[in-house]
């Protein structure tokens, strides 16, 4: 996160009062069109050098950035089940990839360099995973249970069943300092757990009825004092974990015809180091924007040419973002991959 943090920190230190638009430029460094079958998930390595897609036929494909050269391709069918790939996650050091499926029976771990299978975890109905920033630990949201996996042995070593009192866990995240694990349920109940004890610290229910239900993303700031989540309708909710209350919301509006729901843009939020700025989808799912949480102001970063983006992956340390772009406003193929590099300018004041 160093590039982003330095630029924003310098700019914020030079400014007082209400924030102004940060100087951000975006350059598209890779575009690959004609992807078949339909792509469904995308992941990006922390250094921005490898983009990985998962599709409806369980193919996992890694391509180099910016050349687009295919590095490896594997079929994700450990139990010979027909499945799709709903999530692709990189470890903080970029050495491992985890694949998930909302209706799959397993969660898989892969070697990022070669595509070799590292482990098949018997954890089904997974909607998200979170790598610990320092330990070889993976937290997996499987149904309503938190599974703690020791990546050195490739096995679950601890579980916390019924973490949300009968509701499923829809997203999970670690704070940057590794001391807080957060989960959010399908009904918008946000819980913060102390790590490694997994004792409940605070519980917050997000507002807005359907807007807070079926969350698709969850992010924590470095100290674990602030959380952000977005829902199937696209609105971003920010919560003060330390006080156990909702801090504010940022609206979103669907633009593409027939695309009123935003469920595709999973895992689409990321805080900068200071926790005051948040990367989020733009107001039409057509790109990326920066949200300034204390002031409630929003600033555009980039917007693509397509009707909307279906999936996004953020590599904040490398100032890089990857998108899956459908071929039509209805979300049909063929799909395309786009990778953008961001550059930050300090503003003299």
Q: What is the DSSP string of 39-76?
A: EEEEEE-TTS-EEEEEETT-EEEEEETTT--EEEEEE-
What is d(CA 54, CA 106) in angstroms, rounded to the nearest whole number? Answer: 15
Cis peptide bond upstream of 37, omega within 30? yes
Question: pLDDT tens per residue, the chain (349 residues)?
Answer: 323 333 343 344 334 356 777 778 899 999 999 988 889 999 999 999 999 999 999 999 999 999 999 999 999 988 788 789 999 999 999 999 999 999 999 999 999 999 999 999 999 999 999 999 999 999 999 999 999 999 999 999 999 999 999 999 999 999 999 999 999 999 999 999 999 999 999 999 988 765 667 899 999 999 999 999 998 778 899 999 989 999 999 987 655 555 555 556 788 999 998 899 999 998 778 899 999 999 999 998 998 888 889 899 999 999 999 999 998 877 888 999 999 999 987 532 2
Sheet strands side by side (includes 39-44): 39-44, 50-55, 59-64, 70-75
What is d(CA 69, CA 266) in angstroms, rounded to the nearest whole number? Answer: 26
Domain ranges of the chain: 2-14+30-344
DSSP state of 292: E
Instruction: Tell the CATH topology of 2-14+30-344.
Output: Methylamine Dehydrogenase; Chain H (2.130.10)
Tokens of 10: 């310098």
What is d(CA 249, CA 58) in angstroms, rounded to the nearest whole number? Answer: 35
Among 217, 263, 264, 209, CA closest to 236: 217
Residue 12, H or E segment? helix 2-14
pTM of the model: 0.91
Cis peptide bond upstream of 258, omega within 30? no
What is d(CA 141, CA 113) in angstroms, rounded to the nearest whole number? Answer: 25
Q: How many other β-carbons are positioned within 10 Å of the β-carbon of residue 232?
A: 20
Among 185, 272, 194, CA closest to 229: 185
Among 232, 248, 227, 246, CA closest to 174: 227
Cβ neighbors of 285 (< 8 A, separation 6 or more) are 234, 252, 254, 255, 256, 259, 262, 264, 265, 308, 309
The answer to whether 250 and 298 are in contact (CB under 8 A) is yes
**DSSP SS3 for 30:** strand
């Amino acid at each position: 996160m160093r590039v982003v943090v330095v630029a924003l920190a310098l700019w914020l230190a030079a400014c007082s009062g209400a924030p102004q638009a940060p100087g951000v430029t975006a350059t598209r460094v890779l575009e690959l069109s004609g992807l078949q079958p339909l792509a469904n998930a995308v992941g990006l390595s922390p250094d921005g050098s490898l983009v990985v897609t998962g599709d409806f036929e369980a193919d996992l494909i890694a391509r180099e950035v910016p050349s687009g050269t295919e590095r490896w391709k594997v079929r994700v069918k450990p139990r010979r089940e027909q499945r799709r790939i709903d999530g692709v996650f990189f470890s903080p050091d970029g050495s491992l990839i985890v694949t998930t499926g909302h209706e799959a029976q397993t969660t898989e771990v892969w070697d990022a360099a070669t595509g070799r299978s590292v482990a098949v975890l018997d954890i089904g109905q997974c909607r998200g995973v979170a790598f610990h920033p320092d330990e070889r630990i993976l937290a997996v949201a499987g149904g309503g249970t938190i599974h703690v996996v020791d990546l050195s042995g490739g096995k679950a070593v601890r579980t916390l069943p019924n973490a949300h009192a009968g509701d499923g866990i829809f997203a999970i995240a670690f704070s940057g300092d590794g001391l807080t694990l957060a989960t959010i349920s399908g009904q918008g109940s946000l819980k913060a757990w102390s790590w490694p004890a997994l004792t409940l610290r605070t519980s917050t229910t997000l507002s807005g009825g359907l807007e807070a239900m079926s969350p698709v993303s969850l992010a924590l700031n470095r100290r674990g004092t602030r959380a952000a989540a977005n829902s199937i309708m696209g609105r971003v909710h920010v919560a003060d974990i330390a006080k156990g209350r909702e801090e504010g919301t940022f609206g979103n509006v669907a633009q593409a015809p027939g695309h009123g729901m935003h469920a595709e843009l999973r895992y689409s939020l990321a805080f900068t180091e200071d926790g005051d700025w948040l990367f989020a989808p733009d107001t039409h799912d057509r790109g990326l924007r920066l949200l300034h949480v204390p002031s409630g102001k929003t600033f555009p970063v980039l917007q693509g040419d397509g009707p909307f983006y279906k999936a996004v992956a953020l590599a904040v340390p490398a100032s890089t973002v990857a998108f899956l772009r459908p071929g039509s406003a209805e979300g049909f193929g063929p799909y395309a991959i786009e990778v953008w590099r961001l550059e930050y300018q300090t503003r003299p004041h």
